[in-house]
């Protein structure tokens, strides 16, 4: 379980993959769209991932009739799933193994993002 005390993104992500073995890769993206930390994400792809998750969350929000923010997304992929959670200006994105339990993954991502947000 991720402690409730503040921690940096790298430490929070390391705890995330330890407690949630169905997550293969994850990254925290800050308000400016920059990668705050990642685990299992190739360095060459980090900036593309950071930009893509921001565009995906913002693009999904454009379809809301109430002009509200999108706070979580789940996409099924061939061989796995993609999850994204936004809170305030930060977001976390994760790739999980096939047949991951969405409720558990979302819970773990929210806890991880909360631990990072407490530090900032």
- Each residue's pLDDT tens digit, 36-64: 899 998 888 888 888 888 888 888 888 87
Distance of CA 46 to the CA centre of its chain: 13
Instruction: Report the percentage of the chain scoring pLDDT > 90.
Output: 45
70 DSSP 8-state letter: P
pLDDT for residue 6 = 45
Half-sphere exposure for 114 (CA within 13 Å, toward CB): 11
The larger pLDDT score, comparing residue 47 to residue 7, is at 47
CB 61, CB 69: distance < 8 Å? yes
Instruction: Report the percentage of the chain scoring pLDDT > 70.
Output: 91
**Beta strands across the sheet bearing 35-39:** 35-39, 23-29, 90-97, 80-87, 72-77
Q: What is the pTM of this model?
A: 0.85
Sequence-distant (≥ 6) Cβ neighbours of residue 82 within 8 angstroms: 73, 74, 75, 93, 94, 95, 96
Sign of CA dihedral 10, 42, 17, 92: positive
Q: What confidence tens digit (pLDDT) does each residue in 84-108 have?
A: 999 888 999 999 998 899 999 999 9
pLDDT for residue 120 = 58
Confidence check: pLDDT of 1 > 50: no
pLDDT for residue 68 = 76
């Amino acid at each position: 379980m991720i402690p409730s005390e503040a921690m940096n993104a790298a430490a929070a992500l390391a705890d995330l993959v330890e407690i949630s073995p169905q997550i293969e890769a994850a990254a925290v993206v800050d308000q400016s769209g920059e990668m705050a930390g990642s685990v299992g994400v190739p360095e060459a792809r980090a900036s593309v991932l950071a930009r893509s998750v921001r565009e995906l969350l913002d693009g999904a929000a454009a379809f809301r009739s109430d002009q509200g923010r999108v706070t979580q997304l789940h996409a099924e992929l061939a061989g796995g799933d993609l999850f994204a959670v936004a809170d305030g200006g930060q977001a976390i994105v994760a790739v999980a193994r096939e047949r991951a339990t969405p409720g558990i993954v979302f819970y773990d991502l929210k806890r991880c993002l909360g631990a990072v947000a407490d530090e900032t």
